[in-house]
Structure formats: structure tokens, C-alpha cells
Chain A
């Protein structure tokens, strides 16, 4: 087991290096290949009527005149040992992992990432709890009451959930529940868990439900399909023949076997979600990693792009590692090596 984890972690580090090189190349090398100069790249971060001299000065400060490997090396060095940043009046130490300073806001990226992660994590965890419970429960009941009114209604709603994007359901629910009924807080409201757990949950309930509605639908359909298949297996009949209570048959023998694909998909979904629920955060104006990524990409703010990309990759890797470990718990036949 330990060897397996170490091997996976080494693989993850290699993958992160590749991700960082590719991201760096997309934002730095590709523009140069299509004719961008250090000055033209610097002009993105200057005032709109910046003179050629201003562009030159900014390019100099951002190190755009250095060869590409030197620029990349500087980024990696910042991650490993930290960096120094000249504020004009003093030199500030940016401790490792230093993802650099935003070209636009001139703020260090790492504290931003940590701060934004809290919002995204809060959003993701709450929504995941709801969608897993609601989705799996609905799927199980639908499978057990196949072709019943509940089954048809639930699957119809599930289809609607999958079909309707978050910006649709989110905007509608925001206007109705927040602005019309006044039951929930307006968009852009977030209270940290450490400040007030109740207000934290209250401020996130609408985004949670909206996001969960999207995911729960898929999980319900997946669970239903898995359960239908499993409940027709011979060993289920055997379990019933042994006289086991129906609850034990369904939960311990049926659901457990049906869970493996759900755990797999959950790992991917949750990992990606922690990298930023872009649409949900944008719709509800939550300052999480997803919004941060969009801002960074739109404004070509490379340090922010690198930071959020690598962090997302880390989340995906960790989530998948946990899922792989969970396989052994869910399905005793799986042995990690």
C-alpha cells in the first residue's frame, strides 16, 4: 500500500511538472511564436496609452527579455525556495511556494489561492454531500421501485437536472429565492466557516443546492442503472434466500457493489470541482478558484494562471488517489500494489 502511494505521488509530481511547462508555453511561448514581442506582451499590463518606453520598462520588470527557460526556471525557483519582490519602496520576501505576483494587481498569488480555495472547498464539500446523498438515495429507490411514479418522476427531474446548466438554474433560483422571496442571501455573499458556521451554511445553501441539482441527476441515473444490474445478480437472490433482511440485501450486497463506478466518477468530479466550479462561482459571484481562473485567463495574468492550474492538478491527483484507495474499502476484491 505504501509503495503504491509513493509511486502515485512520484507520478503526480512528474505530471505537475508537465502541466506547468505546457501552461507556461501556452501563455508565453505561443504568443512569441505568432509575433508577440516582450513590449507588446507588456502592453497588456500597462495603461491604455502607454508609450513604447513604458512598455519597455514593464517588460524589463516582468523579465520578458530573458530566454524562455530562464523565465520558467525563475518560476520554479520561486515555488521551491521563494522569491523577492520589489514594491518600489521596499523589497518583500515571498516565501515558498511563491507563485509570483499578479501582473495586474501586483498582489502575491499564493495567499489568493489559499483564500479562494476556502470558498471553492466550502462550495464543493457542501454540494457533494447533498448530491451524493440525494443522487444515490434517489437512484436506489428508483431501482427498487422500477417503473413506479416515483421512478419516472425522479428520472424526469434527473434528466432536467443534467440538461439545465448552472447559470440557468442559478440565476433563476437567485432571483426567486433571494431577490423575490428574500429567503436566501444575494449573490456574492460568503461568510467563512471559522467566522460563523451557521452563516457559512446559510450563505452557501443556494449554490450548494444548485450545483448539487446538476450532479445529483447524473448520480441518480448512474446508481439506478448499477442497482438494477446488481439486484438481478445471483448472489442477491442467494442473500434473500438465506433470509437476510431486505435492508441488508439492498445496502450491504446491492449498493456496495453498485458503488464502485460511482466512487470513480465522484473522485474525478470532486477533484475538478475543487479546481473551481467556474459556472457556479460566476453565477453566484463567489470568489473561488473558478472565478479566479477565469479572471486570470481573460487578463493573461500568467502567475495567476500557473497557480490555479497547478493547484487544480494537485486536487485532481489527490482526489483520484483517495478514490483508488477507497476501491479497496468498497470492493474487497481490489488489492493495491
Chain B
């Protein structure tokens, strides 16, 4: 009772706060004492103004972009970070071999050379990749960046005891020497079986097996050069040596940091970054609702995590035309879905699984995530902006509301004409997942499938419960609400981790339902395929095969409501970042 009262009071408080802030921001009154970004001037504000096009295009330099983060950065060390917003932001202070083109929409999903002169070249079908570096690119201290700095940065990121958080793609793909422990523990070990640097401007990566989309891997921050002499291991995050247009000015870990211009960055070596603002200020651990209020009032320019407005602000903003005109409904490469575990009786019978898929009212699932602004109804496991996407009609029902007759027929074929009992899990701290589970519970009840809701804490969801095979089997957990976002905007970076059954381990699994040998085999085929169209065709087959097996119920392809702070220029949502592209952004002075 107390909790309910507290929530109600909080909701009223937030609503009132937003109402007041609307007076301050949306209504046109310019409150005194604001330090954010000044007026947006004569720019026409409209909904989705930064989707597929540039909002307020400008080449004007100067000003400081102010950002806020509701939590703590995982790490500013390019070898120890794994968040999309961090990958996006890191490109301001670091350069990688290749990068996503800073451009709006789909154009932003194409790779362009960055430190390298061209995209990777392979002469053996994707097993060896060579990059030639641009000359004259310097660290913030004026030292020229060489291939050895990149080789070192990759070798240091290998050590997951010291830098545990970064992606481990290069650990697994490269042909490292046997029992290699990384650059910290074995600084003098010969790693030429994995990386060769025949000269200062050439770096060659040698893989264990062909991997066609290697360029997508080396755009990640672990290829940002790190000067060995300046590396301080776990403390490197306190002062990352910049190779991009900005360098760290102040850095108080867990509180705030700021970037200023890097005097040794030469725009002649960098055709991609306009570097419009004079700097960036990022405040950490700011109350999430307060960030929304400050975006509305103009006190901050951007919410750096790019997750979109909180529920309280979202409702208020979308119902106010003035405020709504300052937002963008960005599509994410994120899928909310339901795992249907085929190890649990009677879901080990495909007909019973199909009954679940036929019965679910997808519109109620969409409502669970905030309606059309929260996401589009999903029909498969690949979000629309990724290769291999196509609308799958295997379980299409009128109005997406489910088909009770087909569900009952499938139940009869399964030998459970009156339905059955099962458990459905979700993360208790996530209201969307709870609503998803409830929507499924109500849908399935119509055909006699009685679900018991099983909430588990977020932090232990995968390690102790829904991602632990022993627990799932012992407790007969048949259905689990899940969500997944791409590591990088290519289908391998999205689907492999949740579709390749060989990644399943004792605990900490994100997938326990897709265990299809044919899918595993096709993923291997994708890895060795250099041709993009052929890869996409294989992904489409994989997607269809997963749906045929009825081991997942796709829920929604997620969308977010991003809000533009006041005074921003050159702002756009890039398909690669799925949020505002921080490389392109500028600010009016």
C-alpha cells in the first residue's frame, strides 16, 4: 500500500513538474538564468525533424554541448566499454580503423575509412584483413599514430581480467598464440599469428577462420590506438590519450567529464568529423526525470545514453504539440520478444509452441511498450534496418490480434486440447516486460493456457534464473520475456549471440530457446561469406527457420522518443547509432 501511494505521489509530482517545465520550456517563455544552449532561433521545430535528414544544418563552430547521463559510464577506456552510446561518443576522442559515416538515416549505416585509407582488404576470402593507415595522424601529445599503437590496443583489450567489459570479438576471431594472456601479462610475446605490423602504416589481422564482415568489428573502440608508454591499465580511463578532434579536459569518474579541442588533431587527415562544438560537458548520475525536465527547459542539450524520454515525460511531451515538435521517434535495432523454451513439457511439442504463437495478441504486446511510439509489431527476429530483414507471415493474424481457432487447433494437434499450465518470467524492475508478460498471460488464457507470472531481479535474471539452463529445467520455466539490441548495426552483431546455440553455457545466457543445428550451420556459412547480399539472404533463411520452429514470439521492434535540447545544430539520427550522432552535432552560441 505504501509503495502504491509512493508511486502515485511520484507520478503526480512528476506530472506537475513536467507541467511547470512545459511552462518554462515548451511554451516559449525563456526563463532567466539558463545556461544551456540559448534559443533555437528561427529553426522550424517539427516531429521527426532529425529522422532521415539533418535538423538545423550548420557548419558554424563553437559552443559547448551539454549532456547528461542517468547513471555511470561503464568506462571511457576504449578497450573496456560496451554500450552503444559509449561507442557513439568515443568517436569524438578516438579514431578507429573504419567508422560509420556520420550521416542521417540509412546512409549513416555505411562504413567509411577513418584511421585507415580504405576499408579492409582481404585476398583470401576473409581470413586475412589488411589496413593501410593514413600518415600524419597524431595523438594529443603530438606523437604520430602507427600501426603498432593499434596492434597494442587490440592486444591489451585481450586481457579480460584487467579490461573485462569490452566486446571479445577479436579475442575469438584472431589466431592468437596458444594460451596468450594479453599485452599486460605478456608484453613481449610474439603475436604475429594474430596481428602483423610490417611497417608503421600497415596492420594485418589474421583470423582463425574467414569472417566476411570484419570491417564491422574494427569500427569498435578496441581498435582505437593506445600509446603503450602512456597505458596505465585499469587507470587508463582516468586519462585516455586522444586521437580524435577532442581530448579530455576534466574527468571526475562517476561525476562528470569534459572534452576540449585536441590541438594535434588535423582535419586534413579526418574527412569524417566536422568537429563543430568547442567542447562537450557530460554530467553523470543525474536523476532520469530531471534530465527530461532539463531537456525540456533547455538546460541540457542531449541525454547522452540515447534511451529516450522516461515514461512520465513521454506521455506529457507527446500530448503537447509544442514539445512533441522537439522530439524524434527513432527506430532501434532492439527487439522485445518471448522465448518459448522447447525443453519444457509440453512446449517440447512444436504444436504446443505454435499454439502460443497463434494465440498471442500482438497489439497488446505493442501497448505494453507504449503503443506505436514505443515500437512496431515484430514478425521475425531481425529488426527492419538490418540485412536479411523481411516481414514474416507465418503466424500472421487479422489485425495482429491473434487467432484463437488456429491456436486451439494447434493445441489439439499437440494433445492438449484444453490447454496447459506454464510459467512466464520477466525482469521485475522493467514495467514494459511485466506488461508484456501480462499481455501474453491474458492472450493465452483465452485458449486455456494458464500462465503464472515469475518476476526475477534484473541483475540476476540471466545468471541465476531465465538464462541458466539448470534452473529453467528444474523449475519448468517455459516462457521468458527477453530483449536484445545489436552490438553493432550488422545482422551478425545482432542475431548471432541469441541464435547460435553453441554460445549456450552454464549460466548467463540470453538465449535458451533457439537451439537449431541448421541455424548454427548457416551462421557458420554467414561468417565465411564476404558478399553482403549473399549474407543477407542467409540471414533471411535463418530468420524464417527460427520462426518455423516456433521457439520465439517476436514482440516489438523497439522505438524511442528522443528529445532535442535547445540550440542544437546539425543534428540527426543515424541508423548505425540508433540515436543522435554525436560526431556531427553542433550548437548555437
Question: Does A1 lie at the interface of the complex (its beta carbon under 8 Å from any beta carbon of B)?
Answer: no
Stretch at the interface among B206-214, B283-291, B440-448, B527-535: B283-291
The answer to whether A61 and B506 have CB atoms under 8 Å apart is no
Chain B nearest CB from A242 CB (Å) reads: 50
Within A51-67, which residues are at the interface with B (CB < 8 Å)?
51-55, 57-58, 60-61
Within A31-64, which residues are at the interface with B (CB < 8 Å)?
31, 34-37, 39-41, 43-55, 57-58, 60-61
Question: Does B23 lie at the interface of the complex (its beta carbon under 8 Å from any beta carbon of A)?
Answer: yes
Question: Does A126 lie at the interface of the complex (its beta carbon under 8 Å from any beta carbon of B)?
Answer: no
Question: Does B189 lie at the interface of the complex (its beta carbon under 8 Å from any beta carbon of A)?
Answer: no
**Chain B positions within 8 Å of A187 at CB level:** 286-287, 290, 294
Q: Residue A180 contacts which of B31, B161, B166, B172 (CB distance < 8 angstroms)?
A: B31
The answer to whether A283 and B290 have CB atoms under 8 Å apart is yes
Q: Residue B23 contacts which of A60, A169, A180, A298 (CB distance < 8 angstroms)?
A: A180
Chain B nearest CB from A202 CB (Å) reads: 12
**Chain B positions within 8 Å of A86 at CB level:** 162, 233
Question: Does A295 lie at the interface of the complex (its beta carbon under 8 Å from any beta carbon of B)?
Answer: yes
**Chain A positions within 8 Å of B20 at CB level:** 172, 175-176, 179-180
The answer to whether A285 and B285 have CB atoms under 8 Å apart is yes
The answer to whether B9 and A164 have CB atoms under 8 Å apart is yes
Within A169-196, which residues are at the interface with B (CB < 8 Å)?
169, 171-172, 174-176, 179-183, 186-188
Chain B nearest CB from A46 CB (Å) reads: 5
A176 to B168, CA, bound (A): 47
The answer to whether A43 and B25 have CB atoms under 8 Å apart is no
The answer to whether A89 and B184 have CB atoms under 8 Å apart is yes
The answer to whether B82 and A47 have CB atoms under 8 Å apart is yes
Chain B residue with the shortest CB-CB distance to A102: B254
Question: Does B72 lie at the interface of the complex (its beta carbon under 8 Å from any beta carbon of A)?
Answer: yes
Q: Residue B254 contacts which of A41, A61, A112, A284 (CB distance < 8 angstroms)?
A: A112
Question: Does A3 lie at the interface of the complex (its beta carbon under 8 Å from any beta carbon of B)?
Answer: no
Chain A residue with the shortest CB-CB distance to B162: A88
The answer to whether B165 and A46 have CB atoms under 8 Å apart is yes
A166 to B543, CA, bound (A): 49
Chain B residue with the shortest CB-CB distance to A166: B13
Chain A nearest CB from B31 CB (Å) reads: 5
Contacts A50-B164, A165-B6, A174-B293; A186 near B74 (Cβ below 8 A): no
A282 to B287, CA, bound (A): 6
Question: Does A232 lie at the interface of the complex (its beta carbon under 8 Å from any beta carbon of B)?
Answer: no
The answer to whether A179 and B25 have CB atoms under 8 Å apart is yes
The answer to whether A180 and B24 have CB atoms under 8 Å apart is yes
**Chain A positions within 8 Å of B172 at CB level:** 51
**Chain B positions within 8 Å of A165 at CB level:** 6, 9-10
Chain B residue with the shortest CB-CB distance to A291: B285
The answer to whether B31 and A58 have CB atoms under 8 Å apart is no
**Chain B positions within 8 Å of A295 at CB level:** 71-72, 285
A36 to B75, CA, bound (A): 26
A3 to B363, CA, bound (A): 72
Chain A residue with the shortest CB-CB distance to B283: A188
A271 to B130, CA, bound (A): 62
Chain B nearest CB from A188 CB (Å) reads: 5
Q: Residue B168 contacts which of A51, A92, A112, A285 (CB distance < 8 angstroms)?
A: A51
**Chain B positions within 8 Å of A87 at CB level:** 162, 232-235
The answer to whether B464 and A105 have CB atoms under 8 Å apart is no
Question: Does B392 lie at the interface of the complex (its beta carbon under 8 Å from any beta carbon of A)?
Answer: no
The answer to whether B459 and A298 have CB atoms under 8 Å apart is yes
Of the candidates A35, A47, A92, the one having the most CB atoms from chain B within 10 angstroms of its own CB is A47
A34 to B460, CA, bound (A): 11
Question: Does B16 lie at the interface of the complex (its beta carbon under 8 Å from any beta carbon of A)?
Answer: yes
Question: Does B135 lie at the interface of the complex (its beta carbon under 8 Å from any beta carbon of A)?
Answer: no
The answer to whether B506 and A181 have CB atoms under 8 Å apart is no
Chain B residue with the shortest CB-CB distance to A170: B13
**Chain A positions within 8 Å of B23 at CB level:** 180
A175 to B289, CA, bound (A): 11
Within A140-177, which residues are at the interface with B (CB < 8 Å)?
164-165, 167-169, 171-172, 174-176
The answer to whether A89 and B286 have CB atoms under 8 Å apart is no
A323 to B463, CA, bound (A): 46
The answer to whether B75 and A105 have CB atoms under 8 Å apart is yes
Contacts A40-B506, A43-B508, A283-B290; A54 near B164 (Cβ below 8 A): yes
Known pairs A104-B74, A167-B10, A171-B293 / 18 extra A-B pairs, C-beta < 8 Å:
A35-B471, A36-B463, A47-B165, A51-B172, A86-B233, A87-B232, A88-B159, A89-B232, A168-B10, A168-B13, A169-B13, A175-B297, A176-B20, A186-B294, A187-B294, A188-B290, A283-B287, A299-B459
Could you list 30 A-B pairs, sorted by A, with CB under 8 Å?
A36-B460, A36-B463, A40-B508, A44-B463, A45-B165, A47-B168, A49-B167, A49-B503, A52-B505, A58-B164, A88-B163, A89-B231, A90-B232, A104-B74, A106-B75, A106-B234, A106-B235, A164-B9, A167-B10, A168-B10, A171-B17, A174-B17, A179-B294, A183-B33, A188-B68, A188-B290, A285-B286, A285-B287, A287-B285, A298-B459
- Which 7 residue pairs across A and B have the least CB separation, nearest first? A88-B233, A182-B33, A168-B13, A88-B162, A87-B233, A179-B297, A88-B184
Interface residues of chain A, those whose CB is within 8 Å of chain B, are: 31, 34-37, 39-41, 43-55, 57-58, 60-61, 86-90, 92, 101, 104-107, 112, 164-165, 167-169, 171-172, 174-176, 179-183, 186-188, 282-285, 287, 291, 295, 298-300
